[in-house]
Structure 1
Amino acid sequence: MSQKYNTLSEIIHERKSVRKFEASTEISKEEIAAMLSEATEAPSSSNTQSWRFIVIQDSEAKKKIKEFSFNQEQIETSSAIIAVIGDTEMHHNIDEIYRSNFEAGNIDKLNMERQIQNAKALYPIAPTEVLLNIASFDAGLISMQFMLIAKAKGYDTVCMGGFDKKQFAEKFELEDRYVPIVLIALGKAAAPAYGSTRLPLEKIATFI
């Protein structure tokens, strides 16, 4: 296993977007599942957890995805592609989520019932655009969390929004409620990632 990092600050600074992966590196289904499970500790809107995942390790499936993803090399050479999918009908899980939270002892029955009532009054009638924005925002939170977890375990990633989402949805026969948000290539870097700079804080933050 490659270098592991001891602090969150190290992980954040060492994580870079890698576009050349070692095609021979294999990552087990169990290890990817463990990383995804840990990533689900990310926050989400009203804890609706609108994210879904398709983990693609099959070489022929990756080749097909590459065809409608601007032929990006990392799609085919990565150990896996994690497709992060947004569920725009997240309200179907409201009862299960809040009842589970109650059974875990995190909220009392009164709060559970109030939260279920409030969520059911909001999400089922929200415009599709609003629901898509929520799902996209939640997908961004968990995607970043997953990439940091992967880096902490010695793996590399790159997050990609540049792919034909309609063709992806058709290939994987997604229901209308499920919307592809990003693809995350996961593996071991075959070449160093390019460095990048950031705007100075005084240009992007105001303290009042």
Structure 2
Amino acid sequence: MSQLEQKQDALQVMFSRHSVRKYERGFVIPEAELNEIFQAAASAPSSWNLQHWRFLVISEQANKDRLLPIAFGQQQVSDASVVVIVLGDLQANLAAPVVYEKASQDIREMMVKQIEGAYANNPVVARDEAIRNASLAAMQLMLAAKAKGYDSVPMGGYNQAALIQEFNIPERYVPVMMIPIGKAASPARPTERLPLDSLVIRESF
């Protein structure tokens, strides 16, 4: 495939991705394909390459049904093939020694010192980085799913405290969004987009 064809394919995936809320209940995504989707999502960029995301995968029907009251009765969490809870790591700085294990000693020490300095006694940085970088992986997850022929919907409407309690999510992780993935039972609702001239500001306001 030529570079131009690859660019066209990538753009086609982006423009064809829409938020689907009705899924074919009982449809199973093969494990191999699901792993490919996660591998693609995990290739997202991240600050200092700390890879702040974790994916809590809910695929058993009983567990998806436990999500229903947490998601205020939104049926897609029960009907989709899987629901991925994208988590942000508030202690991603702890991964620095592993991330830079193969770097030269000078680079490793410099990067670890820089990261620890940024995180030291600064929970705002930890939270901002967790959410920002996990969001990059979440978008890549949805695009990868679409590239494999599946649909998804990003969800922020859920009871975060109940989710944490029900699924024993450690304090280290902050829920960023919930993403049902599966085979659409009906098309997404059409949405309008603001014109570019209201979104793109060139050089200065």
Please tell me whether residue 166 in structure 1 is matched to residue 161 in structure 2.
yes
Deviation at 1:129, TM superposition (A): 2.8
1:30 and 2:26 are equivalent in the alignment: no
Q: Read off the aligned partner of 2:112 and give its amino acid letter.
A: I
Which runs of 5 or more residues in structure 2 are unaligned? 1-6
Q: Which deviates more from structure 2 when the two are superposed, residues 161-170 or residues 129-138?
A: 129-138
Runs of 4+ in 1 over 6 A off after TM superposition: none
1:37-60 Cα shifts (integer Å, max 9, x gaps): 121111112211111111100111
- Correspondent of 1:117 among 110, 113, 120: 113
Alpha-carbon separation, structure 1, partners of 2:11 and 2:79: 28
For the 8 Å contact 1:54–1:82, the answer to whether it is kept is yes
Q: Which residue, out of 3, 8, 13, partners 2:15? A: 13
Report the counterpart of residue 180 of structure 1 in structure 2: 175
Q: Distance between the aligned counterparts of 2:100 and 2:190, measured in 1?
A: 43
Look up the match of 2:76: 74
Coordinate RMSD, CA, aligned: 1.5
User: TM-score, normalized by length of structure 2?
Assistant: 0.91
Structure 1 unaligned segments of length 5 or more: list them. 103-107
Determine the structure 2 residue equivalent to 1:195: 190
The 8 Å contact of residues 25 and 79 in structure 1, kept in 2 or not, is answered as: yes
TM-score (norm 1): 0.90
Determine the structure 2 residue equivalent to 1:142: 137
Matched AA of 1:123 = Y
Specify the SS of the correspondent of 1:84. Answer: strand
Do the aligned residues in 1 keep the contact of 2:119 with 2:125 (CA within 8 Å)? no
